[in-house]
Amino acid sequence: MTEHPLTRLLAFDDQVRRDRRQSPAFLHRRDRRFGLDTEARDDDTLVNQWLAHLRRFSPGSQQSAGGRDRRLQRWDRIGLAFVAAGVVLGITTMLGLLYYDGSGRINVTVLLAFLALQLLLALATAVQSLLGWRPWGWLVNRSAGADTSVLQHLHPQLLARAAQGGGLAFTLAGLATLLVLVVVQDLAFGWSTTLAAGAEGYHRLVQTLALPWQALWPAAVPDASLVASTRFFRAAPTTAVTAVRWGDWWPFLTMAWLCYGVLPRALLRWLAGWHLRHQARQRLHHHPGLTALRYRMETPVLETGNPDADASSAPSLDTRGELQPYPDSPVVIRWAGAGGEPLPLDFADNGQRQVFEAGGGATLEQDRLALRQAAAVLALAEQPSAIVLTRAWEPPTGELEDFLSEAREQWPADTLVALVPLATDPSRPPEPQQLAQWLRFSQRQHQARLQVSRYDAQPPARAWSNGGAT
């Protein structure tokens, strides 16, 4: 089931507030790991997956037992109050409009005028949400402090949705009351106005109003004889009036109430819900926390090599690891374009050795393609081995660590992986402190078949050939 954008916005804002208690380094490492695993691109899917990932460890505190955000339950109660008030007012209003004691007639003009007023109020309610005005703000001002700032910005849309729901309940209750009174009472309808209006002009007016349903229900379109025979005046009529036709107005009034009362309210109620969802998505899209999340997901995590918390201390150069000769491997992977152009001859593609690009500007899918292609080559080797060229002056990144972990899952289990850090000028060996950080990196991986090798323009005799000892 798709989560409502408002619920998603509140959950995301709550998580961003909780993250303020964490260190930036922790947040960066956590979200960078998530960013490498996810393939979501749009904001809604990204936030849904991110929240689902975090809920496995710390469920949101604002969620009720049924999964509904507690802050929205108050708005649900406000919406139900509007609906209940709409039902009561709809019934009482229609009873008042259709009150008939037998001494007169129910004026159709008054009913049409009231229907026009309802339509005007519905449009005004829709406009207030677009303008950000809160005509019902006094209902929530007492407890406004319980809302977060992100929810306070959506009060106009929430209020408009509640008001449109109440208006829809009002028109439905009024329509039901009209139909019940038509069945249980003998209502007498007529039309009159103080203005100098003739039967022909009034007939054109009601025919225009009946255009939406004239083909669907022809009996609900008043004819000229009905309009002429049901007109009444302040004084007693001087001509006989056919009382039998006084009740023939009810089909027209029923369809008019349905088309100009119920349907506009239903449409505007749907538009109010859509506008609320749209505004929630816009608030999420422009949320500062989303910008920070994307930055943490897209920015590599750097290992400085300094285990101390003191930033003024120099990185420790002590390491228990030793450099090993690199193998004559059939696979060379250039990480982030290490080695420049052209590659040293020992690592160049010569027909027996294949070079693959990964890391740096490559996408996650390109990295996985390089792993699959390298796995196909290593599967044919008796003693598989692979060389990973890196830039010696750059600290090891979290992406490289993830790349090596995924390589272990796809490559043969006995594959020897040799990290070869290259200096800016490959003809010169890297500095000792640069090699030290790569030795520490390999030790942290706890992998027996992972080593660090140094490349010289004229390297010593190698202890490995085709991945095995010579």
Average pLDDT over residues 317-326: 69
pLDDT in tens, 405-455: 888 888 998 899 999 998 887 778 888 888 888 888 888 877 778 899 888
Q: How far is CA 295 from CA 36, 291, 457, in A?
A: 13, 6, 39
Residue 89 burial (10 A CB sphere; 0-12, 13-18, 19+): middle
pLDDT score recorded for residue 309: 47
- Determine the Cα–Cα distance for residues 335 and 400; give it in Å rounded to an integer: 8
pLDDT band at 120 (very low <50, low <70, confident <90, very high): very high
- Could you tell me which residues come within 8 angstroms of residue 94 by beta carbon, excluding any fewer than 6 positions away? 173, 174, 177, 178, 181
pLDDT in tens, 385-396: 999 999 888 888
pLDDT score recorded for residue 463: 37
pLDDT at 314 over 50: no
pLDDT score recorded for residue 465: 35
- 342 preceded by cis ω (within 30°)? yes
Is residue 73 within 8 A of residue 336, CB to CB? The reply is no
Average pLDDT over residues 108-124: 93
**How many CB atoms neighbour CB 330 within 10 A?**
19
pLDDT at 145 over 50: no
Residue by residue, DSSP assigns 70-117 as HHHHHHHHHHHHHHHHHHHHHHHHHHHHT---SSS-EEHHHHHHHHHH
pLDDT score recorded for residue 236: 47
DSSP state of 3: P
Average pLDDT over residues 342-368: 83
Residue by residue, DSSP assigns 424-444 as SSTTSPPPHHHHHHHHHHHHH
- Determine the Cα–Cα distance for residues 128 and 81; give it in Å rounded to an integer: 20
User: For residue 284, which of 167, 153, 191 has the smallest C-alpha distance?
Assistant: 153
Q: What percent of the chain has pLDDT over 70?
A: 82
pLDDT in tens, 12-62: 988 888 888 888 888 888 888 888 878 777 888 888 888 888 877 665 444
What are the beta bridge partners of residue 311?
none
Q: Which of 82-86, 153-157, 324-328, 444-448 has the lowest mean pLDDT?
A: 444-448
Average pLDDT over residues 270-296: 90
**In whole numbers, what is the pLDDT of the chain averaged over residues?**
81
CA neighbours closer than 13 Å in the CB half-sphere of residue 158: 24
pLDDT band at 325 (very low <50, low <70, confident <90, very high): confident
- Determine the Cα–Cα distance for residues 438 and 429; give it in Å rounded to an integer: 14
- Could you tell me which residues come within 8 angstroms of residue 137 by beta carbon, excluding any fewer than 6 positions away? 155, 159
pLDDT at 261 over 60: yes
pLDDT band at 121 (very low <50, low <70, confident <90, very high): very high
Q: How far is CA 261 from CA 52, 118, 206, 347, 397, in A?
A: 43, 7, 16, 79, 64
DSSP state of 243: G
pLDDT score recorded for residue 61: 46
